[in-house]
Amino acid sequence: MPMPKPALLLIPLAALGVALALPARATAPLPEPPAMPAPADARPQVAVLAGGCFWGMEGLFEHVRGVISVRAGYAGGRAETANYPAVGTETTGHAESIRITFDPRRISYGQLLKIYFAVAHDPTQLNRQTPDEGPSYRSAIFPQNPAQRQVASAYIAMLNQAHVFARPIATRIENGTFYPAEDYHQHFMQRNPRHPYILAWDVAKLAKLKAAYPQFYREGWS
C-alpha cells in the first residue's frame, strides 16, 4: 500500500473537498508558448516535469490529448536514492516527477508546458505544492534536449514579463535522469479515484483542464 502523505493527516476529513483543490492560479490568460521546430519524423518524444505530488501530475496528463503514456518517478538525484522512502527524507535531491511520452504531431512540448503552468500546479510555490512541503515537491523542468531547454527558458521569461502570476515563477530548469517510481505509485489516480488525497487536491484540476482547455482534454486514460 502507498505510504500516506504526511501533510494530509493534518487536514480534517470534513475539509477534503474539491473546493480546496486549486492553489493560487494565473491572474491573466497564459500567452502561447514559443514554437519548436517541426519534428523531422513522427517518433514520440519525452518530457519530464516536476510539480508536487506525482499522483496528481500523472493523472492530469493521462487525460491530455496527444499524450501516449505517463510514468511517475524521481528526477534530480542518484539512482541509488530513487525510491519513495529515501526521497521522503528530503535529502536526496530528487523531485517527484513524471515522464510524459507524447506525439508531437498532436501536441507540442510548449503546449504541454502551458498545461503544466496553467493547470497542473502552482509554479510560484517554492519547495512545496498544496499541502506537501520539501524540495521533493519543487517545481522543476528537466529538458530532454537543447530545444526543450530553450522553449522552457523562453516561456518562463514570457510568463514573468507578462506578470501572469501574482508572484514570480519559482520553476527551475534542471538536469537529471528520470527513474520510475515503485509500481504502487503508477496510475495512482486512475486506480484510486476516491482516495482522500486525490479528492482534496487533484479532482478539480481535471475539471479545470476540461473547462479551460477542452481542445486538450480527453475522457479516457492514456
C-alpha–C-alpha distance, residues 31 and 80, integer Å: 40
Q: Tell me the three state secondary structure of residue 98.
A: strand
Q: Report residue 74 as a C-alpha cell.
A: 524521481
137 in Cβ contact with 98 (< 8 Å): no
C-alpha–C-alpha distance, residues 32 and 109, integer Å: 12
33 in Cβ contact with 113 (< 8 Å): yes
The half-sphere exposure of 142 on its side-chain side, counting CA atoms within 13 A, is 24
Place of cell 506525439: 103
The half-sphere exposure of 30 on its side-chain side, counting CA atoms within 13 A, is 24
Best CA proximity match to 98, nearest among 218, 209, 180, 177: 180
Residue positions annotated with a catalytic role = 53
C-alpha–C-alpha distance, residues 59 and 57, integer Å: 6
